[in-house]
Amino acid sequence: MNANQLLTGPVIIAPRAIQFADDTIILMEAHPRNVGIISTILSHFSQLSGLAINDQKSALVPIAIPTTRIEVLRNLLGCPVKEFPITYLGLPLSVNKPKRVHFLPLVQAMHEKLQGWKAKFLSLGGRLILIKAVLAALPLHFMQVFKLPQWLLDRMDKICRSFLWKGLDTCLGGHCLVNWDTCCLPKRCGGLGILHLKTQNEALLAKWLWKLLAEKPSVWAATVHELYGSSNLASLANSDRISYGLKDVLLVSPLVLASVNIDQVDQSCRWKWTTDGLFTSRSAYMLMRDPGMRSSYHSLLWKTHAPLKVKIFYWLAMSNRLNTRENMYSKG
């Protein structure tokens, strides 16, 4: 296709680009003229900058395009054709809701971490640190975009729970000295402060609602408004056109709406739970996970300079969860 052919033809919708570091996604209408122009631009960019486009690592991903046209577009771009889902920044992107197999790498990543640790030689304190710093942090990247299915949350909780009490990836319920929900409470509420994955998932998704409410000039709000004709939460909730991702985000809207003060004069929003009035996922998480009760020994226990394993032993003793003869007898 020569330059004259590229400049003739119907008016084509302008393409859009999503870029992070050296990863770029270009969204465009599947018309040979459009693809030819993009190919020419990339070629000129490569010649001027000296940065060559790696065609083998690039891909053409068609969406509802006839098979005959796909071959024409592939020849213009000179790169292989791939189908959804594709991986972008470590996340599976697709026009449909991700399937079970797309989330399994998270479970596999946890198992691989466990295999590299000498878990049986670690104290409860050492295992607790690894859970907080590594295992519970692995799914955070996914949680900012997807509402993780319950089966996956249960599987990851089970791995963390088994690692804490036995140093393994599986263990029987009788080996767990304290209910996992209690372990995931904040320390001031009598727990160990382990991240509750489902709540953290909801807190991270809530930030997208905040952007719709309070950050009207944001790219996210502008995109939602352009796609669905409105960025109003009530209008979106009643729409049957919204994507599965936006539906998941709207599920946490009651919490956000109940925690936002809207100024009637300038319509500005203020988050109730931070001093500067700006939303943070941490404050949303603490709001959802704080049952209101306070541990009577919180300050005495967790602010001392004793080793962590000693603090956990004392925590178990105060909860009457040590394997004493009486407790062992009650468990059979």
CA-closest candidate to residue 155, choices 141, 169, 137: 169
For 138, 182, 200, 271, 315, the CA distances from 141, given in Å and listed in that order, are: 7, 25, 11, 24, 32
Q: How confident is the model at residue 193 (pLDDT cuts 50, 70, 90)?
A: very high
Residues 6+ positions from 181 with CB-CB distance below 8 Å: 196
Of the two residues 21 and 61, the one the predictor is more confident about is 61
The more confidently predicted of residues 325 and 9 is 325
For residue 10, the SS3 value is coil
When computed from its CA atoms, the radius of gyration of the chain, rounded to whole angstroms, is 26
Percent share of the chain, pLDDT over 70: 95
- The percent of residues in the chain predicted with pLDDT above 90, rounded, is 34
54-77: average pLDDT: 87
Model confidence at 60: pLDDT above 50 = yes
Q: CA 224, CA 235: separation in Å to the nearest integer?
A: 12
Residue 215 confidence class, pLDDT cut points 50, 70, 90: confident
C-alpha distance across the termini of the chain, in Å: 80
Enter the tokens of residue 306. 């004793």
- Which positions ≥6 away from 120 have C-beta within 8 Å? 167
Residue 10 pLDDT level (bands cut at 50, 70, 90): low
Residue type for position 223 = T
- Mean pLDDT rounded to a whole number for the chain: 86
Give the residue-averaged pLDDT of 316-322. Answer: 88
Q: Which two tokens stand for residue 317?
A: 């003793």
Among 29-38, 97-106, 123-132, which stretch is predicted with the lowest mean pLDDT?
A: 29-38
Residues 228-264 have pLDDT tens digits of 888 788 888 888 888 888 888 888 888 788 888 877 6
pLDDT at res. 256:
83
* pLDDT score recorded for residue 265: 64
Above 80 in pLDDT, residue 138? yes
User: In the predicted model, what is the mean pLDDT of residues 121-128?
Assistant: 92
**Average pLDDT over every residue of 35-44:** 87
Q: How far from chain centre, in Å, is Cα 21?
A: 19
Question: What contacts 108, CB < 8 A, 6 or more positions away?
Answer: none
* CA–CA separation, 37 and 116 (whole Å): 50
Predicted confidence at residue 6, as pLDDT, reads 47
Say how many C-beta atoms besides its own lie within 10 A of residue 279's C-beta.
25
Backbone angles phi, psi at 286, to 5 degrees: -65, -35
- Whether 287 contacts 199, CB under 8 Å: no
In the predicted structure, residue 300 carries a pLDDT above the cut 60? yes
H or E segment and range at residue 269: strand 269-271
Identify the burial level of 57 via C-beta atoms within 10 angstroms of its C-beta, where 0-12 means exposed, 13-18 middle and 19 or more buried: exposed
Of 41 and 9, more confident: 41
For residue 310, what pLDDT is reported? 93
Specify the range with the lowest mean pLDDT, choosing from 102-116, 193-207, 243-257: 243-257
Contacts by 54-58 with C-beta closer than 8 Å and gap 24+? 55/79, 56/80
Prediction pTM value: 0.85
Taking Cα atoms as reference points, which of 48, 110, 40, 105 lies closest to residue 76? 40
Q: What is the pLDDT of residue 8?
A: 54
Q: Which two tokens stand for residue 251?
A: 């599920």
Q: What does the pLDDT read at residue 290?
A: 85
Per-residue confidence (pLDDT) for residue 320, from 0 to 100: 87
Query: Is the per-residue pLDDT at 13 higher than 70?
Result: no
Report the distance separating Cα 283 and Cα 296, nearest Å: 23
Cβ-Cβ contacts under 8 Å for 64 (sequence gap 6 or more): none
Answer whether residue 4 shows pLDDT above 80: no
Inter-residue contact 195 to 184 (CB < 8 Å): yes
Q: What's the pLDDT at 3?
A: 46
Which range is least confidently modeled, 36-50, 72-86, 249-263? 249-263
